[in-house]
Structure 1
């Protein structure tokens, strides 16, 4: 067993330790056009050009809120966080004044059922299957899968495959558990992270496997009811998701590359994620599935 350093494609080892996530939300029409909120924008205004649904507005759908990534209790209250501030920088560098942020379920987003949008930035893992129906930008973060258990659980690396495991519907963690971990008991599937973590805390399942960033955020907010005891290196990379054959894909990739190289993504991770998780992910042991 060894300690694992989470990697962002442009982060230092310290900043990389702060990574990553998805949150539970309902599919609603709740939205509000926003300026750049509390985000600090960098780069050159209007250096790039995007072909958006509404002129002067970047229309975005995401599974909201998401602590550290989209901070707030409602869509209207979200004005910062890593993903929101990446959006703000994309808009600023593209000469776009407003972000129209709309709520959508994660499952709906990755199934292509969220309706019209310019893009979504929602800690979505790039997969070959998803590439068949969407475009993805260059990756902006990498992550692992965390193992969440009730406080005091006796589950170990050797016994996790025999446990009753829960996952969030539509996630790469669900695929990982089904195809790689292959537990002996039937896997329980939940519509959102909140329901999944509540099931762990209530003892309805023995463990949850979910994006490490989400797992750490949930454990930090649980008042000691749940904890993260391990992580699987699932080799996941996250990108901006766009409609298939979007005219903006190459431009968004150029902006992401620029933001990695100029240190903007590093700075956002350092500013927002350390407080959200309250622990160093490099201290979480990496478990093997063999």
Structure 2
């Protein structure tokens, strides 16, 4: 990963991937009779996000929750988890490759927003997270207010910049932003001191945290990930139906547990917002002080 060392948590996730692949495709029911024709399902995934879509440096294969969900979609829509072609994408290519017909869908930590829904169809959420902020332990920054006047590294075309900007205005501080095409580039910029903080969704940050960094306790704006497809495309409804079935039969929860990711649901978010809270709810890895705080 461009010289970035892997955390213990990442290695644990990678070790579980082989067993994950063997187990997929057996649960639930098949939607293959409703699926569009074609030999394989072409899905874009990240390759630089531990736990979601990450290229194992030892095997070269891409592993994580979103790869497993893609295999499950292939099993349910095509009748075979191996009827799948995955392509590595980033924040600048995941939409463009749907637009030009290279991909049928993307499973790439793609947050559902009203603006994006004007361009793409999204399935119901398969994962819910919150925006987090990672800083160096020796920076002296211990809370969001400590970022006043600092530069935050964010991903191109992501929702993070706008959400953090809104939060900064609310408490009367000013942020600067530097945008990068990939998450490893942001982590390298943080280590090198070119940015003061690295911000993206908290579960993604946990894969980049190490002994020199600290995940700030403040979290912002629930982020709902959906499978993106072409607007009005033939795969939009079948994929949404399959995600609904995976949620109902426990497949999604099982896959999240396998990768040590948040178990937060829409109901959890609604309940916490109604109570005036912003946390991720029970079962989230950020609740583990050894992973989510300064250790």
1:47 CA displacement = 5.1
Who is 1:213 aligned against?
A: 203
Q: 1:186 aligns with which of 176, 191, 196?
A: 176
CA distance in 2, matches of 1:79, 1:255: 22
Who is 1:21 aligned against?
A: none
1:127 CA displacement = 0.6
Aligned residue runs from structure 1 range 98-109, under 5 A: 98-109=83-94
Who is 2:144 aligned against?
A: 157
Distance 1:79 1:154, change over 3 A: closer
Q: What is the count of residue pairs matched by the alignment?
A: 243
User: Taking structure 2 as the reference length, what is the TM-score of the superposition?
Assistant: 0.73
Distance 1:145 1:237, change over 3 A: same
Q: 1:150-173, CA deviations, whole angstroms, 9 ceiling, x for partnerless residues?
A: 123321233223322221111111
Gaps of 5+ in 1: 1-17, 19-35
Gaps of 5+ in 2: 1-8, 10-19, 262-283
1:46 CA displacement = 4.7
Q: 1:113-137, CA deviations, whole angstroms, 9 ceiling, x for partnerless residues?
A: 7732110111110011111111101
Structure possessing the higher relative contact order (Cα contacts under 8 Å, 6 or more residues apart): 1
Q: 2:112 aligns with which of 126, 132, 137?
A: 126
CA distance in 2, matches of 1:113, 1:161: 38
Q: Is the 8 A contact 1:39 1:85 kept in 2?
A: no
Q: 2:100 aligns with which of 109, 112, 115?
A: 115
**Residue 58, structure 1, aligned to residue 44, structure 2:** no
Aligned residue runs from structure 1 range 217-256, under 5 A: 217-219=207-209, 222=210, 224-256=211-243
* Alignment RMSD: 2.9
**What SS does structure 2 have at the residue aligned with 1:123?**
coil
1:89 CA displacement = 1.2
> Could you say which structure has the higher helix fraction?
2
Q: Is the 8 A contact 1:104 1:114 kept in 2?
A: no
Who is 2:24 aligned against?
A: 40
Who is 2:124 aligned against?
A: 138
CA distance in 1, matches of 2:238, 2:76: 11
Q: Is the 8 A contact 2:32 2:79 kept in 1?
A: no
1:283 CA displacement = 4.8
